[in-house]
Amino acid sequence: MARTVKRAYKYRFYPTCGQAAELARTFGCVRLVYNMALAERTRAHAAEGRPVPYGETSAMLTRWKRTEEPAFLKEVSSVPLQQALRHLQAAFANFFARRAGYPAFKSRKKSRASAEYTRSAFRWREGRLWLAKMDGPLDIRWSRPLPEGARPSTVTVSRDPAGRWFVSILLEEEIRPLDPSENMVGVDAGITALVTLSTGEQVTNPRHERAERRALARAQRNLARKAKGSANRVKARLKVAKVYARITDRRRDFLHKLSTRLVRENQTVVIEDLTVRNLVGNRRLARAISDASWRELRSMLEYKTAWYGRELLVVDRWFPSSKLCSVCGAQQDAMPLNVRRWSCACGAVHDRDVNAARNILAAGLAERRNACGAGVRPQRETSRTGRPAVKQEA
């Protein structure tokens, strides 16, 4: 049975000079409104001890437009400004629910330049998109077609640090689940092999950042030589951003293909709950761990399994997958990172990563059976020394 989901289609577009100027002005106004509302909410909380709801910030926006100093807010579409206030409201909701930190002010140099338009601020007709205050449709490169009869609900325009313009079109789409499969796979994340499967297959880590390291170092050295505030520094910064964009695009493309393949071939995918934030504290491996982007792979697996009727199981991060023998279940006392193959007392010889993937699969299935009232919980390591436990492997 098909299910309706919200799905975003992202395309690159090339604005005219007038459109680029209008969008840049809109980005600046969105950032200003967000920061002004955040400052007012922070002041009210510190001075009066009261929260400021969205309705009050919306009334503030109306007053700001009538004053002399930020009167230029009237020159851009009002919808992206209202959406910025809604995003701030969501940020505070996440903060009070302890899902995120306190909202931060947006920076002109570091924050993402974007503006969100709802249906009242854009027009969609015969595959062409007009935004409010624009003199013509956007010149979009349709790298893939939208679903037939698509009716966008939200359009988000953004510009990345490399100067590229993108439009993200959000719409509701019916997605049919994949045919059921009997295959199940455990996935062990690593650095040399990006993932090792319980089937014994190892997917080599493409190391996109390492492949571009020389070009990146050259561009950064060139940037360091430029005088601050000069036009040449702006050009040099753009070259650095383009190298980073190339790395990000290749990495994301590879992870999309890998996650889609895992979801299509297997009914159940079992992964390990890795805390990447703690892992990158290792200065020797932080760069390689960041390049592997395990968190992004997990995120892709989460929404793709939900879309296509598959199952994603997550094993506890302290489960000793590398120390357990997948044949007899005996646990080794220690397993240093330099040990890649080891032998168990039962006579089984294990590849470290393949053995871990098989144990992850078994542990995930055991936890699922236990949740249904049967089976035994997998073994678990706990830290009794008060020191940070080091279960996750690089």
C-alpha triplet 263, 277, 238: angle, nearest 5°: 85
Contact yes or no for 110/165 (Cβ under 8 A)? no
**pLDDT > 60? residue 88:** yes
The DSSP line for 368-381 is HHHHTT-S-PPP--
pLDDT of residue 373: 55
Percentage of residues in the chain having pLDDT higher than 90: 67
Residue 313 sits at φ, ψ, to 5 deg, of: -110, 140
- Interatomic CA distance for residues 348 and 356, integer angstroms: 14
pLDDT of residue 124 exceeding 80: yes
E strand or H helix at 45? helix 17-47
pLDDT tens, residue by residue, 137-153: 999 999 999 988 889 99
pLDDT band at residue 89, thresholds of 50, 70 and 90? very high
Pick the CATH number of 184-205+250-371 from 2.30.30, 3.30.420, 3.40.449, 2.60.40: 3.30.420
For CATH 3.30.420, the residue range(s) in the chain are 184-205+250-371
Which residues are the active-site residues?
188, 272, 353
Q: Which of 218, 165, 129, 158 is nearest to 12 (CA)?
A: 165
Structural contact between residues 83 and 37, judged by C-beta atoms closer than 8 angstroms: no
Question: By mean pLDDT, which of 76-85, 265-274, 334-343 is the weakest?
Answer: 334-343
389/357: higher pLDDT: 357
Q: How confident is the model at residue 283 (pLDDT cuts 50, 70, 90)?
A: confident
pLDDT confidence of residue 391: 35
CA 134 – CA 254 distance, rounded (Å): 36
Strand partners, 137: none
pLDDT digits 0-9 by tens, 58-79? 999 999 988 877 778 999 999 9
* Angle subtended by helix axes 78-96 and 17-47, to nearest 10: 40
The predicted pLDDT at position 372 comes to 65
pLDDT at 3: 84
- Residue 337 tokens read as 């990172």
Summarised one tens digit per residue, pLDDT across range 313-352 is 999 888 888 888 988 888 888 888 888 888 888 888 888 8
**CA atoms of 322 and 334, how far apart (whole Å):** 10
